[in-house]
Amino acid sequence: MQGARGYIQLLATGGTISIGPDGPLRAKNMIKMARRLPAEIPVRGEDFATIHSSSITIAQIESLSARVRTAMDDDHCLGVVITHGTDTMEETAAALESMVHPEKPVVLTGAMVPSKDRGADGPDNVADAIACVNEGSVGGLGVVVVLHQRIHAALEVTKGHTTCPDSFTSGDAGPVGWVTPSSVEIVRTPMRAALTSTKLDQTVALIRLVAGDTGRLIELALNDGYRGLVVECMGAGNVPAPVIEICRRASEAGVIVLTTSRVPAGPMELWPSAGTAGMIPAVLGKARLSGLAARMLLMTALGAEPDQRLSGKQLSDLFIGASPGKIGPMEQGGTTESLGE
Ligand code: ASP
């Protein structure tokens, strides 16, 4: 049993899960409230932050990734559980996956119902997250998000409901696994991206195309010095003609332009002229990234040290040539073949 060999690190950052009956809950309270904690596993609690995740800064995401990296480097640490607000959980998860690319379990969890209220989902979610680390089988899947008994991969998950405990979804692909009171089941290998960087470049804009779009917002971002764009195009990959021309000029000027669809689920095939305009579909293997995940990936790619930074061509190869579970120009062990150790 792994518990005999080390400890699990819990990092508390705030969010709805930390709203307790008598004030904010700290890391030690999270551990206490989790039901079904296997008695033999030491779980160390650390109060990393006490914020609503809607207020998280890029600097805080960078320091969280540094903290997770330190935990990964500690031979005694079996894995990390991060309690986090649900509003931006998918963005922190995508950033940690792209920046740290962990092989040990890193599990984000939170709650849709405050821990002080009837129907609070936090205690079970924390217990499930700890079970995932302890059981070990999520190791090799990269960063995962565990809520409502489901295990979602960092680059696939989105928050799909504003209030329901069953809020998180992985779209058509479905979760990578689930947690029952007695087991952790993994059903498929998720897409991953092996970029790794300690910094996120903040000059990446996420822009949703709208009816009548003239590309004005994109132009403003470019004039403001943005080095990357994630464009949520329409339907299965359609882009209004004026926007294509602006994106063409942007990519010719060295700006990386990733595209995904503003429609949450389904495949995407970029309109041919958008492809020739240097717009790169944010599709890994057969899986399409959300705009939020694509932004974090591009921020990581552009945030890398100059000698590690990918060119537009390499990024394009990364997306177009990738297959789920085996992605990335750098051989960093970014595969998910070693499930369950
Ligand atoms: N406002 C909360 C947050 O920190 C929402 C939540 O945790 O569910 O994201």
Residue 244 has pLDDT above 70, yes or no: yes
Q: Name the residue of 54, 82, 117, 121 whose CB sits within 8 Å of the most ligand 1 atoms, as the mutation to test its pocket.
A: 54
| The dihedral sign for the CA sequence 52, 53, 59, 62 | positive
pLDDT at position 2: 45
Digit-coded pLDDT (tens) for 194-217: 787 999 999 999 999 999 999 999
Q: In the chain, what percentage of residues exceed pLDDT 70?
A: 91
Model pLDDT, residue 96 = 97
Decide: helix, strand or coil at residue 11: strand
| 16: annotated active-site residue | yes
The CA-based dihedral angle spanning residues 151, 155, 157, 159, taken in that order and rounded to the nearest 10 degrees = 140
Give dist(CA 247, CA 115) in Å, integer: 46
* Range 299-312 average pLDDT: 84
What pLDDT, on a 0 to 100 scale, did the predictor assign at position 321? 52
Using the mean position of ligand 1's atoms as its centre, give its distance from the Cα of residue 59 in Å: 19
State the amino acid at position 63 in one-letter form.
S
Rounded mean pLDDT, 102-125: 96
Please say whether the dihedral angle defined by the alpha carbons of residues 16, 20, 24 and 29, taken in this order, is positive or negative: negative
- Which residues sit with their C-beta closer than 6 Å to ligand 1? 15-16, 52-54, 85-87, 110, 112
The SS3 call for residue 91 is helix
Ligand 1 geometric centre to CA of 48 (Å): 16
Which pTM does this prediction carry? Answer: 0.91
pLDDT, residue 161, reads: 96
Indicate if the pLDDT at residue 322 is higher than 70. no
Phi, psi of 153 (to 5 degrees): -80, 145
Domains contained in the chain, CATH given: 2-186 (3.40.50.1170), 204-320 (3.40.50.40)
Task: Decide if 8 contacts 41 (C-beta within 8 A).
Answer: yes
User: Packing angle between helix 89-100 and helix 291-303, nearest 10 degrees?
Assistant: 40
CA angle 315-319-320, nearest 5°? 115
Nearest to 284 by CA among 133, 139, 122, 97: 97
Q: Mean pLDDT over residues 207-232, rounded?
A: 97
Catalytic one among 13, 16, 158, 169?
16
Residue 137 has pLDDT above 90, yes or no: no
Distance from the alpha carbon of residue 82 to the mean position of ligand 1, in angstroms: 14
Extract the runs of DSSP E, i.e. beta strands, from the chain: 7-14, 19-20, 23-24, 43-51, 77-83, 106-109, 143-147, 150-153, 158-159, 168-169, 177-179, 184-186, 204-208, 228-233, 256-261, 279-281, 283-284, 287-288
In this structure, the residue with its CA closest to atom 3 of ligand 1 is: 85
Tell me what the mean pLDDT of segment 290-302 comes to.
95
Q: Which of 15-19, 139-143, 287-291, 320-324 has the lowest mean pLDDT?
A: 320-324
User: Is pLDDT of 331 > 60?
Assistant: no
Average pLDDT over residues 86-109: 96
Report the mean per-residue pLDDT for the chain: 88
Task: Pick the closest to residue 115 from 19, 13, 14 (CA basis).
Answer: 19
Contact 13, 83 (CB under 8 A): yes
Give the CA-trace dihedral at 302, 306, 311, 312, to 10 degrees: 30
pLDDT tens, residue by residue, 27-75? 999 999 987 666 678 999 999 999 999 999 999 999 999 999 999 999 9
Residue with token string 């709203």:
19
Q: Look at residue 218 in the predicted model and tell me its pLDDT.
A: 97
Alpha-helical regions (H) of 74-152: 89-100, 122-135
pLDDT at 38: 67
Average pLDDT over residues 146-174: 95
| Long-range contact pairs involving 187-190 (C-beta distance under 8 Å, separation at least 24) | 189/141, 189/324, 189/325, 189/336, 189/337, 189/339, 190/141, 190/142, 190/153, 190/154, 190/155, 190/156, 190/324, 190/325, 190/336
Handedness of CA 31, 153, 13, 167 (dihedral sign): negative
In angstroms, the CA 209 to CA 228 distance is 16
